[in-house]
Amino acid sequence: MSERPTVGFIGVGLMGHGMAMNILKGGYPLIIKGNRNRVPVDDLVSRGATEAPTAREMAERCDIIHLCLSNSPQVEAIIRGHDGILAGARAGLIVVDTTTADPTSTVRLAEEMAAQGVHMADAPLGRTPKEAEAGTLDAMVGASDEVFGRIKPVLDCWSGSVTHLGPVGAGHKMKLIMNFMAMSYASVYAESLSLAVKSGLSPQSVRQVMGPSRMGCGFFETFFAAALGDDPNAHRFAISNAAKDVRYVANMAMAAGVMNPVGAAVRNYFEQAEATGKGAEFVPTLASHVAALNGIDFADAVQNGTQNSAVQRVSAAPDAESTSKTR
């Protein structure tokens, strides 16, 4: 492989655009595959990227290809398809899959690719599109030591933290553990807010008490900022993606022979929300969805909580006359 390998990128969307942009900034020749949304594609081309019409042509020209797609079926199609990566791959090509994918699929693909002399690495992402643009994402990597050494300089272009966890599949497994924990938190937050409101507490009081405690965390802050209306875009992760991820967690648990009853409950929350047409909404809207199942208008509860908080602030402020009489 040359000192500056040619890098391909398929999936230059919400996360992929920033990653690809930072690969360009790192000085690597970049080839991208376009999609229906031309805005990020045209932007990257204006910055010096070239565009390939098919994954097959990209594979013929690249040393390393990044994938940043929505799910494992998309990854399988782009690798195995008639004009897919394997149709044009040369021996020694490395495919870096940053998709949050099913590790059982990842391992099968890696075996197929190895038979053709193509290497697989999984490097799913932690953090948000903001960090993708800044080049400070977290990367959880599954790859052989040799492949990891070859791809790490490219990963460093778009990540602030790179952790090599083990062989192929290890990165996707860790990402599912992370998302299982996160979506479990989201489900508990949503259910707790309904319980609080039905019991006469305001959503704001839950945030006020829990946020500064040991139960507070970055996920808590972004979930509540979005759920309570401070910043609807504070946690930009779609319910459909969450539902997909917890389904993959179930597959992972079955493959490992591990009981996963909490995972089943979390999966039911997200699949029910997705089935009722809320898949495109962001995860914190789960609070409103669960509230509706409990006969609660969550928007009204938030509004009432805001008004009551304002009244409490006014009544708690001492006036000048009463203050002077106590001196």
How far is it, in rounded angstroms, from Cα 280 to Cα 283? Answer: 9
- φ/ψ of 17, rounded to 5, equals -60, -50
175 is catalytic: yes
Side chain identity, residue 135: G
Alpha-carbon dihedral angle through residues 58, 60, 64, 69, given to the nearest 10 degrees: 30
Distances (CA, A) of 17 to 48, 158, 159: 13, 11, 13
How far is it, in rounded angstroms, from Cα 312 to Cα 305? Answer: 10
Say if residues 12 and 20 touch (Cβ distance below 8 Å). yes
Distances (CA, A) of 219 to 53, 305, 306: 39, 22, 22
Per annotation, catalytic residue among 25, 33, 173, 175? 175
What is the set of active-site residues?
A: 175
